[in-house]
Structure 1
Amino acid sequence: MNVLWYFERMQKFVGSFILAGLLSGLAGCKTDDGGRTSPEVAENNAPGPVEAPKAAIRKADVVDGRPLVVCFGDSLTAGYGAEDGASYPDFLQKDLDGAGYRYRVVNEGISGNTTKDGVDRLAGVERMKAAVVVLEFGGNDGLRGFDVKTTRANLATMIEGLKASGAKVVLAGITLPPDYGADYVTSFTANYPVLAKKYGVPVLPFLLKDVYGVPGMMQGDRTHATEKGNAVVARNVLPLVEPLLRK
């Protein structure tokens, strides 16, 4: 794949005004070393839990008995800032139910997670023996300026581990503001189609397609989707998940 051609397409798709909005939304969030970081990172230092009680979910999974669709990622998956029951996995459950699929969607998103955190949590998700896993990581790596090769290696480790556990994988990507530099943004954004091709998995290059920059779809932090936005994200994910399921 010509990486520059792909990034040009992504820029055209997302729009320069969208990326500018993301940049302004991220302004003012600083790490200790003076670099920019995501609001997701800051939120982890705030009081209060950022993770759903997984023990209750596990018990429900055992009792329910339906095969699992696991949404595995960071705050974009967790539904940070949205009302309870308004994350994109919640809407994906409703969409699958409405389409006649008998699967249980489990939200394994944790705000602030990097790809390294995802690797650290991988064994627990593997043990769930999901039918499908929607893998969404990398945004926090990019916003902290992590090495692109390290991010790609961590994503590859998760894809390999999930496939080895018997799950079918859907890869969901994200992009970055232009002030991170054209070379870095191009390399980062290319991680997702490159890995999708290598491992033969379906990919959604930009999780917030038709959401970012649309009035009412994003929260005030310009990073996380609203309830309306998460409903659209679920509709973005559904066409990639649906061919992997059985009615």
Structure 2
Amino acid sequence: MASFNSLSPIRYTACVKLSWIALSLALSLTLTGCKTSDGARHAEDYSRDTRPARPMAQNPSPAATSTIKDERPVILCFGDSITAGYNLDAGQSYPDYLQKALDEKGYKYHVVNQGISGDTTKDGLARAEDAVALHPAVILVELGGNDGLRGIPIASTRANFDGILAKLTATGAKVVLLGITLPPQYGKVYINQFNETYALMATKYNLTLFPFLYKDVYGVQGAIQRDGIHPTDLGSQLIVKNVLPLVEPNLKR
């Protein structure tokens, strides 16, 4: 896992190629506008959906609520619908399972979920000060997927990432960058530039990089929702298996 930090964009693309055989098949249905019998929407429609997970709005879990007073150091999960726990029950987002994993290991940290469904990097930049205000010890940044799905120019995405990461790293927090990639429909040039964005940002700000958040998630039966994009309860747990080893070296007992 540590070797991901030194991956070149070319090796990065090869690393995730097999996972995208399954992903491209799932996303091709939504991206081409096909309708399924249960009324599945386009992938872009899901990316634009700003609703949080239904039960989380009604009965917030500790990881999903930043207003609950807690004196423990903060681990901030800053992202889009994957972080927010789109269409999941309370307690089923990956930040919720990260909190549980840390508690079980005896770490005294408070995981805060600042995931907002539909957010692009532009939206993330607009609320970066909210993240800074929490004075987090560790920040997991999961953004960019909606930029790619909407075909936002790479230069804009990189500029937004630059602004976000400049603000977050200036706090002294340990920042972990969680990458994603795109299905083949977006073309090799755009995909390679999109993938390279994460590597460039990680290098510039000396960040820990996990290039493909869905590594060992996509392709696992029952890990992805029927929309072909968002993790299920199982998927959230598998994501934590990816991110926990990246977080632990930055923690104190």
- Identify the TM-score tier after normalising by the shorter chain: 0.7 to 0.9
Let me know the Cα RMSD of the aligned residues.
2.5
Aligned sequence identity (%): 45
Question: Which residue, out of 209, 215, 218, partners 2:224?
Answer: 218
Question: What whole-Å deviation, never above 9, does each CA across 1:15-54 have from its counterpart, x for those lacking one?
Answer: 423322232244328xxxxxx75243343389x8996879
Cα distance in structure 2, aligned partners of 1:184 and 1:51? 36
Tell me, yes or no, if structure 1 residue 237 matches structure 2 residue 240: no
Question: What whole-Å deviation, never above 9, does each CA across 1:207-245 have from its counterpart, x for those lacking one?
Answer: 111111211101100100100110010111101111111
Equivalent residue, structure 1, for 2:81: 75
How far residue 166 of structure 1 moved from its aligned partner, in angstroms, is 2.5
Other structure's SS at 2:65 match:
helix
Structure 2 counterpart of 1:111, one-letter code: S
How far residue 183 of structure 1 moved from its aligned partner, in angstroms, is 0.6
Cα distance 1:201–1:45, how it changes in 2: closer, same or farther (>3 A)?
closer
Other structure's SS at 2:12 match:
helix
Question: What whole-Å deviation, never above 9, does each CA across 1:108-134 have from its counterpart, x for those lacking one?
Answer: 000000000000000111011000110
Q: Is the 8 A contact 1:74 1:111 kept in 2?
A: yes
Cα distance in structure 1, aligned partners of 2:161 and 2:55? 26
Q: Is the 8 A contact 1:38 1:143 kept in 2?
A: yes
Cα distance in structure 2, aligned partners of 1:4 and 1:71? 28
Equivalent residue, structure 2, for 1:57: 65
Cα distance in structure 2, aligned partners of 1:200 and 1:76? 24
Q: Is the 8 A contact 1:174 1:189 kept in 2?
A: yes
Structure 1 counterpart of 2:33, one-letter code: G
Cα distance 1:133–1:45, how it changes in 2: closer, same or farther (>3 A)?
closer
Cα distance 1:85–1:45, how it changes in 2: closer, same or farther (>3 A)?
closer
Question: Which residue, out of 107, 110, 114, partners 2:120?
Answer: 114
How far residue 10 of structure 1 moved from its aligned partner, in angstroms, is 2.4
How far residue 2 of structure 1 moved from its aligned partner, in angstroms, is 4.8
Question: What whole-Å deviation, never above 9, does each CA across 1:31-86 have from its counterpart, x for those lacking one?
Answer: xxxxx75243343389x8996879x93441x3x20000010000000010111110
Equivalent residue, structure 2, for 1:136: 142
Instruction: Report the TM-score, using the length of structure 2 for normalisation.
Output: 0.86
1:164-243 correspondence to structure 2 within 5 Å: 164-243=170-249
Other structure's SS at 1:44 match:
coil
Other structure's SS at 2:244 match:
helix
Q: Is the 8 A contact 1:170 1:203 kept in 2?
A: yes
Cα distance 1:42–1:120, how it changes in 2: closer, same or farther (>3 A)?
closer
Equivalent residue, structure 1, for 2:4: none
Instruction: Report the TM-score, using the length of structure 1 for normalisation.
Output: 0.87
In structure 2, the gaps of 5 or more residues are 1-6, 35-41
Other structure's SS at 1:11 match:
helix
Aligned residues: 237
How far residue 191 of structure 1 moved from its aligned partner, in angstroms, is 1.1
Tell me, yes or no, if structure 1 residue 102 matches structure 2 residue 123: no
Cα distance in structure 2, aligned partners of 1:37 and 1:145? 12
How far residue 9 of structure 1 moved from its aligned partner, in angstroms, is 2.7
Cα distance in structure 2, aligned partners of 1:66 and 1:26? 42
Tell me, yes or no, if structure 1 residue 7 matches structure 2 residue 13: yes
Cα distance in structure 1, aligned partners of 2:8 and 2:174? 27
Q: Is the 8 A contact 1:67 1:103 kept in 2?
A: yes
